[in-house]
């Protein structure tokens, strides 16, 4: 009997390039997923236009409409839950989520971040890597915890810094690798190869001692 595609919800705040990578991989048949909804905290987020063009349902909820973060997160996730996703992907969603709203989704919510976590959580990761003189930079996918860009790491991709790199050139070189990393991680989850047990990520039934490399 055919296995139904993984139902995925994607949260964004900006241009949605990682979302577009997932949409393209779904359309090509590379990913056996069904992106059921795209949600954003910003009505002007460009990524919402990608979703609309692909015929995907969208949710926009302005944080200013709620009295505090906890109630905002609860309302947003209640609307997302109505689409019955199997997996939630944070793809440039620029908010730290309340622990209470994350708890029911433990092991079913991931984030992609443009640094080799735990280095450089938060913003301006490319500039910070350059300022630190790092020889290697990259992107990470992790299961989401209640702290900023925290939670068990699943996989990462790495690139070497080059002479003359700026934050802009570094970001441009990393972005295609970041897209590939996210798509691969979602593929593994859709195939049932990845599970989070407690705080440990398992791949093909084996506990990971370090993130997988893509």
Cβ-based neighbours of 56, under 8 Å, separated by 6 or more: 23, 35, 36, 37, 38
Among this protein's residues, is 179 annotated catalytic? Answer: no
pLDDT in tens, 47-59: 999 999 999 999 9
How confident is the model at residue 146, as a pLDDT? 86
How confident is the model at residue 3, as a pLDDT? 77
Residues of the chain where predicted confidence (pLDDT) is lower than 50 = none
How confident is the model at residue 1, as a pLDDT? 62
Tell me the angle at which helices 167-190 and 17-28 cross, rounded to the nearest 10 degrees. 40
- The active-site residue, picked from 50, 113, 126, 142, is 113
- Would the pTM count as exceeding 0.85? yes
How confident is the model at residue 139, as a pLDDT? 98
């Amino acid at each position: 009997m055919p296995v139904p595609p993984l139902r995925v919800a994607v949260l964004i705040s900006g241009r949605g390039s990682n979302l577009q990578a997932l949409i393209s991989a779904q359309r090509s048949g590379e990913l056996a997923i069904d992106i059921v909804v795209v949600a954003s905290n910003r009505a002007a987020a460009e990524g919402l236009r990608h979703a609309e063009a692909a015929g995907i349902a969208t949710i926009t909820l302005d944080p200013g409409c709620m009295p505090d973060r906890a109630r905002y997160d609860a309302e947003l996730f209640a609307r997302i839950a109505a689409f019955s996703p199997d997996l939630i992907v944070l793809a440039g969603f620029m908010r730290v989520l309340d622990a209470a709203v994350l708890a029911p989704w433990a092991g079913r919510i991931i984030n992609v971040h443009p640094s080799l976590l735990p280095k450089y959580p938060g913003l301006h990761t490319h500039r910070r890597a350059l300022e630190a003189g790092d020889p290697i930079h990259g992107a990470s996918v992790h299961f989401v915890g209640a702290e900023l860009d925290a939670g068990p790491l699943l996989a990462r991709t790495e690139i070497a810094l080059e002479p003359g790199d700026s934050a802009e050139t570094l970001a441009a070189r990393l972005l295609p690798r970041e897209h590939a990393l996210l798509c691969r991680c979602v593929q593994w989850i859709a195939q049932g190869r990845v599970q989070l047990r407690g705080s440990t990520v398992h791949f093909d039934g084996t506990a990971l001692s370090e993130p997988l490399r893509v």
